[in-house]
Structure 1
């Protein structure tokens, strides 16, 4: 595919956002000495450098996004939330919500991350591009309408979905394969029949008791939420089975006008924030499948946005795997693949398949059309649990 049809959005200031020193996501305090965070965003600069050095970035039109406006942010967030993020960042440091630490540059970086996703989504809807990738931070899928959460300040793809709907994409599918459940996206669209949210995540990781199979939407949006909580230790076999047996059939039933992908990379086998076994080949395969599906269902309109990913050494290769698939290229060489691809957990296990089978038999998008039955919808509380990690 020519560069004129592929868009790449990034901004240097997004790499300046830094949640500060600590241990994992815990800030410096009693018993916690200063330590390099897992979520240090300059690692994305290295990832972009690898994509450029490989020649793959030449396949894209590289664009610099403008910051999201208040009008954009208020499509999803309440004014008080925006004010808290701006105030915490202006102070130079602080927690803008729950595990949502910021520095002086964070508010600007967050607006640029949203702005990139909005520009990408509206760009493909209006036909300027077929596909787009947004290499941005901070991430977004945990941010709720009224609070920042777990490294996420604004909900990048939720705002992008609303912006795309204003430009004519009535039905939007959001696929989220970040290792954590995207409680913020789910809460935003839980009662919206025109946005299908599909989350493939590690069961019970974060937020606690969030992303259960019984959470399927409510009211007019009943059936428009689809959670796939895979057991810890799931690898390529489980993820590709989910794509084939859950994601693709759900998309075909829903028939979206636009597909957005929360393309987190923290389900990799080297990531410190999850316990999954995905490789760069896994992400390449999932990305390729979604591009093919978009070609069939949406006229090619699809946007990928970076979410989580905390392995300083493996993240660049994972970004490259995603980028090559968007560009329609074969999977790249992966010097880390040998340590993961032959593990027994890479094959679909019986306890993992039970989750898939349950959804095939009970979720309304997959079974309801033929069986006439639907699972009991579970209301999502206004404030999701904040216990656990991002």
Structure 2
């Protein structure tokens, strides 16, 4: 589950992680009041307005139909109000949103941290995620912050450092010091960085994050270390332990079809192809998508109905797939191990009759428990459903449907 920047920062503060302070608002006049409050609190004329969407590249992205960027600096209440007015309600297009962009419902009015002082400011990069190959969490960090880490990895890979953390031991003090040292810090900034990294790792573990990225990790002119931006992803499987965090979910930021699929416990991811697919099991779903491509089509989605597929879930899957106007055919590929093929077949028949007016070809490949009974049910239903036993047969039917 992705969180907005302002939500993630509030959670980090509970773990004593210093952050760039800000006030989230959903109206331009509220942005003006937020600026005034920040000015009183920090005594700085400058403030930053940040669009709150679940995507990166906001600073480079633009609101559709204007030159307004997703992150902008203002130095007066009137200017902040105007920037917020330009962003709120607009569609922000960034490198991560694609051309469709994302609607901006909130902005974060944040303090300016680039104030002058006795020492130069510096931007770093730091993230924590799971290295599945090693079975350990890894802290990835770089002296080159404030920019796309992919560019840094491509152009200057030697500037990216990694520190692996053993699950049973946690982050050790020498590892936090090593990170601060490799970032070139010393004195008070070094001490503050050690505390920052330690507390940030505690937040990553305590909140059951699957990814936590700070870019930029910022050293102020008075040697403080703070998180200027934060991208946080929570492990959905852990939300049973964090009912308060589940309430932070912003459904408006998610694909509506994926939200609907979640209501039926369907694992669904929308893609850009022309063949809708419904499969039981993630491995079989991946193999089915490969088969669709080899047969000349492109998968329109990933849909795993799991091992307990029934008439209700099959019908829900149908409805979700048919909402995509690009779909020219639907392939149902079920291996009956736990699930009985005849029950899935009956679900297909019931869904077909319930939905009605399904104009795209439907190819059903059922193999395993009660596969023959399932094939017989479909053939005797009188519906325009094509059945197959072998994967090669299903591939040939898909090829014919999309040709």
TM over 0.5: no
Q: TM-score, normalised by structure 2?
A: 0.23
Greater length-normalized contact order (CA 8 Å, ≥ 6 residues apart): 1
Larger Rg: 2
Higher strand share: 2
Q: TM-score, normalised by structure 1?
A: 0.23
